[in-house]
Structure 1
Amino acid sequence: MTANPRQDKVTMQDVANHVGVSRTTVSFVLNGGTGNGIPQETRARVHQAVTELGYRPNAGARALASQQTKLYGLITEIVTAPYAADIVRGAEEQAAREGKTLLIASTDGSSDTDRQAIETMLEHRVEGLVYATNWHREVRLPAIATEVPTVLVHCFDESARFHSVIPDETQGGYAATARLIEAGHDRIGLINLDPAIPAAIGRRAGYVRALEQAGLVLDERLVINEDGEADQGYRAAVSLLDAAEPPTAIFCATDRMAMGAYDAIKERGLRIGDDVSVVGFDNQEIIANYLRPSLTTVALPFRQMGAAGVALLAQLAANRSMAPLQHIVECPLVERTSVRLPVRAS
């Protein structure tokens, strides 16, 4: 009997390419893996391709594939962001507690680089994935992300295919505004982000809720939307402070905008804290700690979100039937020195 000359040349990747799935999917099917959500129709196509292409699995490779790798993958676009170390540290710490090692890959958030990063992780046979973004938003991951347990951090998918961990933007906005009200302010400006994004929606909702609970009326003239940078915070603060009825306090939706607001306040001969109190958001320590006076702000809990993402991933890996859920992490107020009682006329 003549041997099939292609038999030694056909690889598992060839089978994957022929079927249009990942190499990991082929491995799961050929090794009899169950509970991984691979449709029966896909399994049948893999077996048909194996027959058609003449693929013969290597016995040693099959034995290796049946073992757990104890690897989790973290795919993130925030490797160069000021807070990147926090989310990686939190994820690594939790992975160690789970007895896993964390592999890290970067992406620019495009569909092509997302898919490439996920494919790389699957080729390393990770047991699960964490996907983290640099700003809170909706994402759309390629279908191959469903081949292993996957958790989104600082983002969510509209179709709710994946579990997600997000910051409590509304609670953070409430904490910032409530702190200013506690200090005695009743005319509080809000320099917010693009009103269509989740962070801006949540932070405004918290601002409004704090005003309402204090019996204060929302004045839309005190709300300005910008894009988050220092020069835009400066411009918005100028508009607020030069108004006929300026605020005595400003809640800025980013620390960078708060930095710009500081300049506008000081240019007018006003003292931050004494004349105009300021609260930021993000707790970018390179900004908040070194402004003078130092900036009271609300922290985006990246370290906690990274840890929560891996902990949720471990639960999901143990129980793939868990219905997708959204885990919300508190955004704590970080008290510094930019908020004090306003000066009252005698």
Structure 2
Amino acid sequence: MNTHSMLTNKPTIAKATIGVKELAQHAGVSVGTVSRVLNGEISVSPKRREAVQKAIQSLGYKRTSAAQMLASRRSRSITHTGNIAMVFVGMSENWQGHPTTAALINGVDQACNDSSFHPLLETCTDDRHLPRCIANGKVDGLLIKSSNVVPRFLDQLPDYLPRVLVGMAEPTLACNQVLPDHRASAWIATEHLWSKGHRRIAFVNNQDMHRIFISRYQAYEQLLRSRRAYDPQLVVRNEDPPGFEPEVNFPDMSYAVEQLWALDDPPTAIVAANDWMAAGLYQALKKRGLTVGKDISVIGFDNVLSVCCMLEPQLTSYEIPLQDVSRHATRLLMNLIENPADNLNHSTQMLPGRLIERDSVVDLNA
């Protein structure tokens, strides 16, 4: 059957019921394709774009305004857009090329590729106001990526709109949440050092108010307290942390090394709150004449390959499953859109990662 017959042999649809789904059915394309055409995106083949435009003309489709869409959804007469959005809260556009952001976006893309939904991405530097994609009625559901703050616009979201919080656990929120198991990651990392014979294990963090790093510290402390090996002198924190922007250079961790090696009994191993801080420790330790993987062991988090594999020796790091988290959260959101009753059941799901062993940890048992 050629394209012309596909377009002309469609059953008549009442104009009151015409939406993106009906356009897609009439044009013989996916809902996501229709959404991309309506949003003016160029990533659509000329043939499919023409099919959608002909369907619009044939059915007399008129795009619903944001106000009309909000009213219709409140009355349960929902006009689906075929879009879902991931909003990055408290993150400027400077984060767009960061490895952690790329991993999250890849997970959303993978989930959408297996469905009829099309992903939209938006940064939100002022969490007092609704994201543009919500204010303009462009999405059927919302992924909220936040690591350290509960966005204030949550109170303004319409009740009918499915949403999933990504990357941060907030027990007071009545919504579904998906995040990495940060406490388990630090427990496993600290246990790995313990299994290699280390008993003087330090924890270094230059962003003391960050929720993720707090969770990692708590697991580190809990494990060592359970082994009667916790020493608060081995914990180094920065009470004046840098702003929440991606750093261009590795942080200067000289203050941490100076504090730890001023002790009568310095550590044999250091847990750094992330790979970036671990790299800063490498530089500070080298200045002091200490060799990682020989004189001192270092372990990090995130497994950022551009960092871990560049360092000498290569850094042992706990891989945080950001791509799995965003893919799982996206699939959960799609289910909530297609099955609205499930929005009444809220859960918090934490996904495990894995430890990637390289050469930065000395085995004292050998």
Q: TM class by shorter-chain length?
A: 0.7 to 0.9
Amino acid at match of 1:248: T
Unaligned runs of 5+ in 2: 1-62
Contact 2:316 2:357 in 1 (8 A): yes
Q: After superposition, give the CA deviation of every residue in 1:242-293 in whole Å (9 maximum; x if it has no partner).
A: 3221000000002121112112222222221111000012222221121111
Amino acid at match of 1:287: V
Amino acid at match of 1:297: S
Among 282, 302, 305, the alignment partner of 1:282 is 302
Partner in structure 1 of residue 76 of structure 2: 33
The 1-side partners of 2:303 and 2:185 are apart by 12
- Percentage identity across paired residues of the two chains: 26
Among 104, 109, 131, the alignment partner of 1:115 is 131
Contact 1:137 1:197 in 2 (8 A): no
Partner in structure 1 of residue 218 of structure 2: 205
Partner in structure 1 of residue 109 of structure 2: 92
Secondary structure of residue in 1 paired with 2:131: helix
Query: Is residue 310 of structure 1 aligned with residue 330 of structure 2?
Result: yes
Cα distance change of structure 1 residues 145 and 295 upon mapping to structure 2, 3 Å threshold: farther
Q: After superposition, give the CA deviation of every residue in 1:49-98 in whole Å (9 maximum; x if it has no partner).
A: xxxxxxxxxxxxxxxx65x4432222223424332111011011112223
More off after superposition, 272-281 vs 153-162: 153-162
Amino acid at match of 2:70: T
Q: After superposition, give the CA deviation of every residue in 1:121-158 in whole Å (9 maximum; x if it has no partner).
A: x2x2x22111213x344333341254410111113556
Partner in structure 1 of residue 350 of structure 2: 328
More off after superposition, 176-185 vs 332-341: 332-341
Structure-to-structure mapping, 1:136-175, within 5 angstroms: 136-142=148-154, 143-144=156-157, 146-156=159-169, 159-175=172-188
Partner in structure 1 of residue 83 of structure 2: 71
Unaligned runs of 5+ in 1: 1-10, 17-21, 35-64
The 2-side partners of 1:137 and 1:176 are apart by 26
Contact 1:278 1:339 in 2 (8 A): yes
The 1-side partners of 2:188 and 2:149 are apart by 22
Query: Is residue 106 of structure 1 aligned with residue 123 of structure 2?
Result: yes
The 2-side partners of 1:192 and 1:266 are apart by 19
Contact 2:181 2:351 in 1 (8 A): yes
Secondary structure of residue in 1 paired with 2:145: strand
Structure-to-structure mapping, 1:294-305, within 5 angstroms: 294-305=314-325
The 2-side partners of 1:218 and 1:233 are apart by 22
Secondary structure of residue in 2 paired with 1:231: coil
The 2-side partners of 1:108 and 1:285 are apart by 28
Amino acid at match of 2:86: L
Cα distance change of structure 1 residues 140 and 326 upon mapping to structure 2, 3 Å threshold: farther
Amino acid at match of 1:26: A
Amino acid at match of 2:231: D
Deviation at residue 117 of structure 1 after TM alignment: 3.9
**TM-score, L = length of structure 1:** 0.75
Deviation at residue 166 of structure 1 after TM alignment: 1.9
Amino acid at match of 2:82: K
Cα distance change of structure 1 residues 145 and 292 upon mapping to structure 2, 3 Å threshold: farther
**TM-score, L = length of structure 2:** 0.71
Cα distance change of structure 1 residues 141 and 155 upon mapping to structure 2, 3 Å threshold: farther
Cα distance change of structure 1 residues 12 and 274 upon mapping to structure 2, 3 Å threshold: closer
Contact 2:309 2:315 in 1 (8 A): yes
Among 190, 196, 201, the alignment partner of 1:183 is 196
Partner in structure 1 of residue 58 of structure 2: none
The 2-side partners of 1:70 and 1:88 are apart by 18
Deviation at residue 24 of structure 1 after TM alignment: 2.6
Contact 2:314 2:359 in 1 (8 A): yes
Cα distance change of structure 1 residues 162 and 24 upon mapping to structure 2, 3 Å threshold: farther
Amino acid at match of 1:329: L
Partner in structure 2 of residue 55 of structure 1: none
Partner in structure 2 of residue 247 of structure 1: 267
Amino acid at match of 1:139: P
Report the count of equivalent residues: 288
Cα distance change of structure 1 residues 158 and 210 upon mapping to structure 2, 3 Å threshold: closer
Cα distance change of structure 1 residues 72 and 295 upon mapping to structure 2, 3 Å threshold: same
Cα distance change of structure 1 residues 270 and 156 upon mapping to structure 2, 3 Å threshold: closer
Contact 2:122 2:131 in 1 (8 A): no
Deviation at residue 216 of structure 1 after TM alignment: 3.6
